[in-house]
Amino acid sequence: MRTTSRSRRSRRVLGVAALFAAALQITALAAPAGAAAPPPGGHEAPPAHEARKGHDGHGGHGGGGCVRTRHPLDDRARAVVDIVRKAKTDLRLNAVLFRVTVDGREVVTDALGESMTGVPAEPDMHFRAGSVAFAHIGTTLLRLVEQGRVGLDDTVERWLPNVPRAREITLRMLANNTSGLHDYVTDPKFDAELEAHPFRAWTPDELLAYPFSHDFWYTPGTNWSYSHANYLLLERALERITGQRIDKLVEEQVTGPLGLRNTRNAFTPEIPRPVLHAFTSERGPYEESTYWNPSWTTGPGAVITSDVCDMTRSARGIGSGELISPDSYRTLVNPGTVGLGVPTARCPADVCLRQTEARHFGLGVIVANTWLLQNPSFSGYAAIQAYLPSRRLAIAVSTTKKADTPDGNTAEVVAERIAAALAPDHPLSP
């Protein structure tokens, strides 16, 4: 199966981890849209039973892993499985791993399809979680602010003196994508190099050279545009502020407290066993992409893998604001982005995307009809973690492709269908 250079580039751009533009554009085969009321109070206290066996995390079936829900399934679990099975057929997916919880209690955990030919997909398989790391980093930043170690509106010249316009860029701007830096992922020169050399190990300096070669889209803080460069710089700044490697810092502040034992950073393309294998046609022929080097997705120390049990726990922990104060939670949900995203003569409409109350970028998360989510999709992997505070509903999905699977984040489409059934008045799609 061959595709043109232009369509391959479009496919990769749509599959970039946390690319808000992609999330905004995914409408095909999705749940119907509608408005949703904000959750009362805008902040959810952590459930008291969070640490019990069988809630979120692992060990709910007497073992230590992420395992299928025991049969017989109740009506709600059967309905979710039927939805996923139909979506797998409709979207021509190779595998779907999924888990749903309400108030931390399992509704269903399962896996359909194959990891590889003759190897059934299992719920405990690990996959690349991409921009889920940005949600963890955003909450890490807010915790450091609460601890008095840094200010959200501190400019970065103290820690990143060589960054252009460092005296104007704040930590908030890096975290909420209002710095004005170009995104290297959409740079044609970068795209060509990545397509030609998918196993290449990238350094942050090599990646930052692309946005640094361009003028800013706008004066920092005055507009909105997604850029992976923001998180490369934020991770580097946090390391210098704390004196800790970003993986150790995030483990201390977020993944450790949430008990995410199977969410791990890797400094190589390694994925812990058992592995969900990925395949893609984005370079032309349908080929295995499991071990393509993900170093371009973010900085060293934040290139993570996970499983669907950790992802539902992550969705709930981040989406409920469990680790932060009510004031910080309000910042997480809207750090000043609503109303931004105005196209200008310098910044086109497909870059400076409109940020609305219904759908906007928060501090490391996407807010969609009061759902808080992250939706990584790249190199044949697609995933989503999503949380609806008003229902305490968490959904995690990971999908892999066949040769004729449609473009876009198919895991998000599956999650949209699940959300339409379990929370029909709160559609995940705008």
In 181-307, where does DSSP find H-type helix? 188-196, 204-212, 228-242, 246-250
* Whole-number pLDDT of residue 311: 98
Residue listed under structure tokens 């751009």: 13
Count of residues making up the chain: 430
* Whole-number pLDDT of residue 429: 83
* Whole-number pLDDT of residue 6: 35
Pairing mode, strands 377-378 and 381-388: antiparallel
User: What are phi and psi for residue 365, nearest 5 degrees?
Assistant: -135, 160
User: What are phi and psi for residue 236, nearest 5 degrees?
Assistant: -65, -40
Please answer whether residues 390 and 426 qualify as being in contact, where contact means their C-beta atoms are separated by less than 8 angstroms.
Answer: yes
- Interatomic CA distance for residues 9 and 282, integer angstroms: 8
Distance, C-alpha 206 to centroid of its chain: 23
- Interatomic CA distance for residues 140 and 251, integer angstroms: 9
Nearest to 278 by CA among 385, 402, 407: 402
**What is the tens place of the pLDDT at every residue in 257-307?**
999 999 999 999 999 999 999 999 999 999 999 999 999 999 999 999 999
* Whole-number pLDDT of residue 56: 59
* Whole-number pLDDT of residue 64: 53
Please answer whether residues 408 and 416 qualify as being in contact, where contact means their C-beta atoms are separated by less than 8 angstroms.
Answer: no
* Residue 275 in tokens: 């592995």
**Please, what is the average pLDDT of the chain?**
89
Segments of the chain with pLDDT less than 70: 1-64, 430
